[in-house]
Structure formats: structure tokens, C-alpha cells
Amino acid sequence: MNHSMIHSMVALQSLQQKLDLIGHNVANVNTVGYKRKDASFDELLTTVKNQPPEFALPGRRTPLGLQLGWGARLGRTYLDLSQGTLTPTENPLDVAISGDALFEVGLALTDENGVRTETAAYTRNGAFQLVPRPGDTGNLYLATKEGHLVRDEVNFPIAVPVGYRLVIAANGEMTAYNEADPQAPPLELGQLKLVRIHHPELLQNF
């Protein structure tokens, strides 16, 4: 195949992948907690094409060979966890992170044998809600819109007794107030767990 055609094909393929990445970012511009993805390019290896012996003229100082490059390819994609724009809401359970940390939640999974397990997952979307949990009628649990339970600093789900109002302070500390008895002492529920990821490019979407 003609070398110029190979170079063009490789370049167009890399540019198409870059455009797909940009399109994904644009499509999620209004998604709460979405962090855009970016990409870097790597140069492909070069090959040396031997020239005919006629090129070996007396006094030639350059190597007898022609280097052919094969363009560049999309090297890796990575998340940009820099601070985005904070938008105030009227929901007292909506929380935003100032910085590059993530909330930790429990992601329920079912293995091939039908056994349910739970693993750690991370999100920037702080639009939380209180949901019931099967088998526990005395508490509501702080969860994401998808139903994943939010964890506290000791890796436990955050349980709020029924009839109590949850207040989340600016530093992540959580307090529950008895709505039926305003004079009752509040309950300290710990603190939201925040995690800083050193290699965000290794994270997988769920």
C-alpha cells in the first residue's frame, strides 16, 4: 500500500477518535457531576528504508537510509477532575465538592452464581436522596439518584432514623434533628467520605 495512504488512514482514525471524545463531552455538558475526558497522542515507530548503493557518494555524512514515520495514534484518555461550576439548588441534600475529590458509594453487584456483593464506586454527582432499605423499617439511607448507598468516613452506609431531618454541613459532617421534638438533642452521623484518586485514567464507568 502507498505510504501516504497509510499515513492518512492512521491520522484520520486518530482524529475520529478525538472527535468522538469531544462529542461525548458536549453531549454531557449538562450532566451533573460529569468530568470531561481528554486525550494525548503518541508518535508511532519509524522504519528505515534502505537506499540504493548509488546514493553512497564520497563525502556523504548522513546515514545511507531513509526514515519513514507512520503518523500518530491516540495514546490514552484521562479524566479532568479540575473544579467545575457550582450551581446552588433548593434541595438540602444536594452536595457539591470543592476540589478534585470524589464521593464513595456502595455499588451492588451480582456474580455469575447469583451471589450479591458490594464494591466501592466513586461519583462527583452529589444530588442525594433518602431511600428505604429492605429489612430496615426504622431508617432511611442516603443514596444517589441511581440508588447507590453513600458511605461515611468509616465505610458504612449513612442511616437516618425515620422522623429525623438530615443536615449536611459545609465540611461534610452530618447531623440528624428530630422533627417531632425540636428540643431533642441532635444525632451525630459522622462525615461524608471523600476520596482523591491518584490515577483517574484507570477509573471505569458504571
Residue scoring higher pLDDT (98 or 202): 98
Q: Which residues partner with 164 through β-bridges?
A: 178
Helix (H, G, I), strand (E, B) or coil at 24: helix
Q: Which tops the pLDDT comparison, 144 or 115?
A: 144
Q: How far is CA 48 from the centre of its chain?
A: 41
Sign of the Cα torsion 179, 182, 185, 186 reads positive
Tell me what pLDDT residue 17 has: 77
Quote the pLDDT of residue 63: 64
- The three cell numbers of residue 38 are 481528554
42 vs 131, which has greater pLDDT?
131
CB atoms within 10 A of CB 101: 17
Place 68 in a pLDDT band, splitting at 50, 70 and 90: low
Mean pLDDT of the chain: 81
Mean pLDDT score, 39-63? 67
Asked if the model's pLDDT at residue 66 lies above 80, the reply is no
Q: Residue 86 — pLDDT band, cuts 50, 70, 90? A: confident
Q: Has this prediction a pTM greater than 0.85?
A: no
pLDDT of res. 89: 86
pLDDT band at 61, cuts 50/70/90? low
Instruction: Say if residues 132 and 140 touch (Cβ distance below 8 Å).
Output: yes
Q: Are 158 and 150 in contact (CB under 8 A)?
A: yes
